[in-house]
Amino acid sequence: MPVLPFIEEGRVQFFTLSSVDSESWLATWKNGHDQAEMHRAYERYVIEEAIPFIKHKTGWFDGMMTTGCSMGAYHAVNFFLQHPDVFTKGDCSQWCLRRTFLCRRLLQ
């Protein structure tokens, strides 16, 4: 089903947020604790600032959907699982993180 008519009618809106991955999980010069702290700050920004702004702007106060690919898919599944009160749907079908990245994270 084409999405364009829904967008043109204003029934679907997309909000894309920049991440801080280069300052968190991809910042190899930082230790794991500092990487996680930066990610937590990003998570607080999304949940405490971005989501309320989006709800106010759109007037939509029901569950939201999160999606992404690559690191965005990681964030999408992470937010979906950690905040079921906010995100009722998630699409992470494009999750294609590098195996070396995942292994490095699991071993730390």
Q: In the prediction, which pLDDT does 107 show?
A: 47
Which stretches of the chain drop beneath a pLDDT of 50?
97, 99-100, 102-103, 105-107
Average pLDDT taken over every residue of the chain: 84
Q: In the prediction, which pLDDT does 94 show?
A: 55
Q: In the prediction, which pLDDT does 1 show?
A: 61
Nearest CA to 51 out of 86, 91, 88, 11 is that of 86
